[in-house]
Amino acid sequence: MKEINIDVAVIGSGIAGLEASLDVADAGYKVALIEKSPSIGGRMISLSKVFPTLDCASCITTPKMAAVSHHPFINMMTYTEVREIKKNDDGFDLYAIKKPRYINEGECISCKKCEEVCPVYIEDDFEHELSPKKAISIPFTNAVPQLPVLDMNKCIRCGACARICPKDCIDYLQKAEEIHIKAHSVIISTGYDITPMNAKKEYNAISIPNVISPLQMERLLAPHGPYGKVIRPSDGKIPESIAYVQCAGSRDKSIGVPYCSRVCCMYAIKQAMLLSGSLPLADITIYYMDIRAFGKGYEEFYSEARAMGINFVKAKVARITADEKGSPVLRIEHQEEASKPKEIKHDLVVLSQGMIPAVRDFLGLDLEINEYGFVSSRDKTLNPSQTNIDGVFVCGVARGPKDIPDTIADAGSAAVSAVNYIKSIKGKSL
């Protein structure tokens, strides 16, 4: 078994993990950044632009990804899954599996010839199933590292990729590799999933194709997205009226997410602004309970959206059905007018889904989590990054819903905690 000795193991390489790794490494400590996906970058790299500055998400994320990949103190371990974490007297033992990409990584020159010749199309998870990709492909344009992954479950073993590869590096028989990582400290930055599309049965989101997730809308809006423009999935029509259903996955006990996810108001407003840029003639409506524009510059952003003509309607959407053309019909009750429930048709509807923790099982580590699965702080008013276990720190959405600025501010907090923890234990051993 391969053995790696480092100071801090950072689990999850979204923006929180990238930031925390860079801080720890810049402070002079060795990091293993462990990522289960084939590329680092997490959720943020798949977003279009980010509020409230409307920077393109890639412009912020790609340089950080590049910095991580070049940092002499960061061991970037992608496509690697932690299977077990044990605390011992010296620190932590992490047992991980590096999954096979079925290529010789040392030899691959990222020429993409394998991808070009592969005859098998599969769903592209990076594009949230909006478009296909090849069974052997580099995960996405900006992926780090630029290594293709072969989906062995979909591969038809035709051998085309192996024949074309100029470096002869396709290896159909590659095995997973076991890795033992010894670390003094662990930072949990495992991030979030969004609440399932079918969480709220009344919204029929699975059966109505023109009801989409906000992450799908991010891809539609991204300049290098699946279609290069915003069209609705069922018939490729350019939508003339788009609606956002707020709190479709938060502040709702019926789906087990009573908390507010903190980001949905702002991403809906941001997407609405981007949509009114790319589809100037479209009507955009946001159905909401409360607009929670609480961060720096957010209220101003909300005012700007109202000035741009985006409709904000205070109403809870009770039900979504579809008409014969597949257009979603929302049943709502306006709270600002004395009126009966209404049915309103839109061409495209985005469900503003909330955040739930991506990981709830910490594999042998007796980590305290709250009733919703987020990692708890030992003492919120002393050091929010400190978990119940000495040497284990948490940052980003793994600790609770957060937007990007809050996540970045949180990552440094976990990093300094880990660095100071190592200083304290090393000081004792001297």
Selected binder of other proteins within 237, 314, 319, 345 (CB under 8 A) = 314
The single residue among 2, 167, 342, 423 that binds other proteins, judged by CB under 8 A, is 423
**Number of Cβ within a 10 Å radius of residue 100:** 18
Our CB check for other proteins shows the closer of 141 and 198 to be 141
Minimum CB distance to other proteins, residue 414 (Å) = 8
Question: Least separation, in Å, of the C-beta of 404 and other proteins?
Answer: 6
Stretch 23-42 residues interacting with other proteins (CB under 8 A): 23, 26-28
Judged by CB under 8 A, the residue of 5, 198, 207, 420 near other proteins is 420
The half-sphere exposure of 340 on its side-chain side, counting CA atoms within 13 A, is: 1
DSSP characters over 11-29: E--SHHHHHHHHHHHHTT-
- Compute the distance between CA of residue 294 and CA of residue 228 in angstroms, rounded to an integer: 32
Phi first, then psi, for residue 410 (nearest 5°) are -80, -30
Show the DSSP H helices in 254-352 as ranges: 264-278, 298-307
Which of residues 215, 259, 311, 378 is near other proteins by CB under 8 A?
259
Distance of CA 366 to the CA centre of its chain: 25
Alpha helices in 56-168 (DSSP H): 57-70, 113-117, 160-164
- Told to check if 111 binds other proteins by CB under 8 A, we report no
Which C-beta is closer to other proteins: that of 5 or that of 424?
Answer: 424
Give the binding range for other proteins (CB under 8 A) out of 3-11, 95-103, 187-195, 419-427: 419-427
Tell me the per-residue interface mask from 75 to 104 with other proteins, x by CB under 8 A, - otherwise: ------------------------------
For residue 156, the minimal CB distance to other proteins (Å) is: 29
59, 61, 159, 381 from 221: Cα distances, Å: 15, 17, 36, 39
Query: For other proteins, which stretch binds (CB under 8 A), given 166-174, 202-210, 234-242, 380-388?
Result: 380-388
| Binding of other proteins by 291 (CB under 8 A) | yes
CA dist., res. 400 & res. 378, Å (int): 14
User: Which of 296, 307, 429, 430 is close enough to bind other proteins by CB under 8 A?
Assistant: 296
124 binds other proteins (CB under 8 A): no
What is the C-alpha to C-alpha distance for residues 359 and 394, in angstroms, rounded to an integer?
12
Q: Rounded to the nearest whole angstrom, what is the least distance from the CB of residue 176 to other proteins in the complex?
A: 25
Q: CA 216, CA 52: separation in Å to the nearest integer?
A: 20
251 touching other proteins, by CB under 8 A? yes
400's CB contacts (< 8 A; 6+ apart) are 259, 374
Residue 7 sits in the site that holds other proteins (CB under 8 A): no
| Footprint of other proteins on 45-74 (CB under 8 A) | 50, 52-53, 55-56, 58-60, 62-63, 65-67, 69-70
Using CA atoms, how far apart are residues 365 and 93, in angstroms rounded to an integer? 10
Cβ distance to other proteins smaller for residue 58 or 195: 58
User: Closer CB to other proteins, residue 77 or residue 419?
Assistant: 419
Residue 245 near residue 149 (C-beta atoms within 8 A): no
Stretch 260-279 residues interacting with other proteins (CB under 8 A): 260, 262
- Report 339-378 residues binding other proteins (CB under 8 A): 370, 372, 374, 377
Helix and strand totals (H; E) in the chain:
8, 24
3-state secondary structure 54-65: CEEHHHHHHHHH
Residue from 75, 234, 321, 383 in contact with other proteins (CB under 8 A): 383
Q: Cβ 82 to other proteins, closest distance in Å? A: 24
Residues of this chain, 134-173, that bind other proteins according to CB under 8 A: 141-142, 144-146
Q: For other proteins, which stretch binds (CB under 8 A), given 116-124, 160-168, 361-369, 381-389?
A: 381-389
> Toward other proteins, which CB reaches closer, 260 or 329?
260
Tokens of 61: 């994320």
Decide if residue 410 touches other proteins (CB under 8 A): yes
DSSP state of 374: P
The closest alpha carbon to 183, from 70, 24, 23, 66, belongs to: 24
CB of 278 to other proteins, least distance (A): 10
The token pair that represents 404 in the structure block: 């990007």
* 337 contacts other proteins (rule: CB under 8 A): yes
**Cα torsion through 113, 118, 123, 125, rounded to 10:** -30
CB 245 within 8 A of CB 147: no
